[in-house]
Structure 1
């Protein structure tokens, strides 16, 4: 068994959530949140910001840490246990461009209920629920978009 760590973001702009559509040789197909592997010497928040930028071209800013999800998958040689650390993020436009090299074919911002039903994996749906609840609470208290721009990639 091998352990791996990734980090990603639930990016929200004007109440809508950024998703990516991945299609890898028609074997892996579905909507996901942006995330990727931690590189050597990188802090988790740095990985999350970098991966969002690389995979979507969106310049995001961290609002707060949301939590961790975990899943396992098998490769021909071993079982991998992956921890994914998630951050709630904001951005200042609907612009996104999927990273073709990583087999992302589409990207866009979706209303919560649309994003929830589009997401392929249940662990990402749970993170979306947590992050969106945080967003709603911050918005209700007029604390959304109040200057977290110090953490952009």
Structure 2
């Protein structure tokens, strides 16, 4: 069995007192977060920042400390089973206008409810729910 590790992030911005989440439309047709495979000698956070820049051209990003969510699943590639682990962080950015990479065919900033409807996979919805709850709890302490 092949093992793969990726890292990604729930990206958000604050606009007129509203939290908007960034979703990317992948060429396969699904909506998901920024993410990608960890490269040799790269930390998880370095992976996220590299993928964020490659996939969106966003460079002004701030990690929100205290959130780290790992999901795991299996898929088949060329007849082989792949065990995939994806580690997610939360990142805030002021950048609303992005430049998508060749890996994507669209992007959208949505509030929580609409982002939950738009996301294609249950595990992505679970990550968004946990990230949203984390941010709500964090903001209520401010």
- Structure 2 length-normalised TM: 0.90
For residues 30 and 67 of structure 1, the distance between their equivalents in structure 2, rounded to whole angstroms, comes to 21
CA contact (8 A) 1:18 1:107 kept: yes
1:93, distance to aligned residue in structure 2 (A): 2.4
Q: Which residue of 1 aligns with 2:92?
A: 90
Q: Which residue of 1 aligns with 2:63?
A: 62
Q: Which residue of 2 aligns with 1:22?
A: 26
1:31, distance to aligned residue in structure 2 (A): 0.8
Unmatched 5+ stretches in structure 1: 143-153
Which stretch shows the higher mean deviation, 78-87 or 50-59? 50-59
After superposition, the C-alpha distances for 1:121-147 in whole angstroms (9 at most, x for unaligned) are 1111100001111111122222xxxxx
How many residues end up aligned between the 2 structures? 136
CA contact (8 A) 1:56 1:107 kept: no
Moved over 4 A (4+): none
Unmatched 5+ stretches in structure 2: none
For residues 118 and 53 of structure 1, the distance between their equivalents in structure 2, rounded to whole angstroms, comes to 23
For residues 56 and 108 of structure 1, the distance between their equivalents in structure 2, rounded to whole angstroms, comes to 12
Secondary structure of the residue that 2:68 maps to in structure 1?
A: strand
For residues 96 and 134 of structure 1, the distance between their equivalents in structure 2, rounded to whole angstroms, comes to 25
For residues 52 and 131 of structure 2, the distance between their equivalents in structure 1, rounded to whole angstroms, comes to 16
Q: Which residue of 2 aligns with 1:107?
A: 107
1:71, distance to aligned residue in structure 2 (A): 1.2
For residues 133 and 55 of structure 2, the distance between their equivalents in structure 1, rounded to whole angstroms, comes to 24
For residues 90 and 72 of structure 2, the distance between their equivalents in structure 1, rounded to whole angstroms, comes to 17
- Root-mean-square deviation (CA, aligned residues, Å) is 1.1
Secondary structure of the residue that 1:83 maps to in structure 2?
A: strand
CA contact (8 A) 1:7 1:48 kept: yes
- Structure 1 length-normalised TM: 0.84
Secondary structure of the residue that 2:30 maps to in structure 1?
A: strand
